Amino acid sequence: MRRDRIGPAVTAALPLLSGALWAGFPPPDDGRPGYARQVVGEALGSTAALLFAAALVLATRARWLEGLFGGLDRVYRAHRRAGQCGFALLAGHVAAVPWTGSSPGGTPSGLLAGAGFLVLVLLCAIPTLRYGAWRRSHRLVGVFFVVSLAHALLVDSLVDTAPGPFLLQWAAYGAGIAAYAYTLLVARFVRPRRSYLVRAVRRLDPATVEVVLAPRLRRRLSFRPGQFVFVTLHQRGLREPHPFTVSSAPSEDVLRLTIRSAGRFTSRVHGELEPGRRATVEGGYGMLDHTRGRSRQVWVAGGIGITPFLSWLRSGPGDRSVDLFHAVSRPEDALFRDEIEGHAGEHLRVHHVVTSASGRLTAERIAAVVGPLDGVDVFLCGPEPMTASLAAGFRRLGVPATAIHRELATFR
């Protein structure tokens, strides 16, 4: 198995492992009323705790996780799915387990944990919720996880008499609480971060801005071309850490971020950010790396998705044969057209696509330009509907999934 498939496989296997332990090593029947419902309810509850623990571990942003999932974007996708499945199982636990009210501390703590998780789920469903409010509320996942631990300790549980499920449940609580403590107390001191100053704010068009950051104390952040960073701008209204792909080369003295307005925060960056402000930059993250691909490559960018490819181009010419497609809605959206075409040559062919004039860019259209796709590695960056559609199209044309590389931007 490829290393970047281990993480998703392990995450998917966790509920199966829990179910197998409950089915293979059930607790003995102690004669209580509703024994079968109790077993089903506890199995659902302990599996929910296992998935919440996995979500807390994945939220640590630990560097070793990236290799197991194929990038931090995929780590956060697994984090989201684990949380969603955990809540679904928690709802099943609440519905299945007999509520007797016989545990003075266990019942209220269970209700509090369940209500807390429900509120967090409902908040995530609000489309207009500001990122900062979502981020602050999301920190409470660990609090409600600890409350659920109190619930598990205080109720009269059958799991205590089932060694397999018992060990797995308490291992989950230990890992989840350790991960939450790490994120809350330790991560800020060990994550790679540097202090920068905003040297320039260049508004390229009414919706796009290039932010140029200069390192303080001459300590530059280490990153690979194509990676993204989390940036905290120390200006009122802009202090929330947000991820942005770096568009400069690692060898440059400055860090360049090309940001397109896509919401309240990025719009404020475009309209309000001032030179001279401090910035804290953490990273780099992501595993979109063309140097790991074969000698013949296709790069496809949608709109502002050109940023990792800019970093690759600015890092110097390579010996790979590349066809770069940049799809934009209008001609004026191709902001770096002259620079990109300046890199064109023997090894790089540039194709600009204006979708309002020529229609949607498809894998079939690309294949018609570049020829047979045997031995080609494809790199995609842009809106997820576009990259997902292109990835599916390339697979239909015979490009193996292992040769299609795309960055998932929806977690940002």
- Predicted confidence band of residue 412 (pLDDT cuts 50, 70, 90): very low
Who's near 30: CB < 8 A, 6+ residues apart? 158, 161
Q: What is the pLDDT of residues 140-163, one digit of tens each?
A: 788 888 888 888 888 778 888 899
According to the model, what pLDDT value does residue 91 have?
A: 87
pLDDT over 60 (residue 102): no
360, pLDDT greater than 80: yes
**Between β-strands 208-215 and 193-205, what pairing exists: parallel, antiparallel or unpaired?**
antiparallel
Element (H, E) at 358: helix 355-358
8-state DSSP, 235 = S
| Cβ density class 385-400: b for 16+ within 10 Å, e for less | ebbebbbebbeeeebe
Task: Specify the range with the lowest mean pLDDT, choosing from 130-144, 187-201, 213-227, 339-353.
Answer: 130-144
User: What is the pLDDT of the chain when averaged over all its residues?
Assistant: 88
At residue 105, the pLDDT reads 46
User: What is the SS3 assignment for 123-154?
Assistant: HHCCCCCCHHHHHHHHCHHHHHHHHHHHHHHH
**Is the per-residue pLDDT at 137 higher than 80?**
no
CA angle 101-107-110, nearest 5°?
A: 150
Sign, Cα dihedral of 266, 298, 313, 334: negative
Length of the chain: 412
d(CA 300, CA 64): 28
Q: Looking at residues 348-353, what average pLDDT do you find?
A: 93
- In this prediction, residue 120 has a pLDDT band, given cuts at 50, 70 and 90, of low
The owner of tokens 């496989």 is 9
Mean pLDDT across the stretch 262-290?
A: 91
Section 276-291 average pLDDT: 92
| Whether pLDDT at 35 is above 80 | yes
195 φ/ψ angles, rounded to the nearest 5 degrees: -100, 135
The enclosing H or E element of 245 equals strand 242-245
Least confident of 110-114, 232-236, 295-299, 347-351: 110-114
Percent of the chain with pLDDT over 70: 89
Q: Report, as an integer, the average pLDDT of 327-349.
A: 89
Cα-only R_g, the chain? 25
d(CA 22, CA 404): 39
Residue 349 has pLDDT above 60, yes or no: yes
Pull the structure tokens for residue 252: 């440059």
Tell me whether strands 404-406 and 321-328 are parallel, antiparallel or unpaired.
unpaired
Q: Which of 157, 7, 162, 149 is nearest to 77 (CA)?
A: 7
Distance CA 80, CA 365 (A): 34
> CA-CA distance, 77 to 54, in Å (whole number)?
12
Rounded distance between C-alpha atoms, residue 207 and residue 212, angstroms? 17
pLDDT tens digits, 49-61: 999 999 999 999 9
Residue 296 belongs to what H/E stretch? Answer: strand 296-302
Structure-block tokens of residue 366: 């690309």
End-to-end Cα spacing for the chain: 28
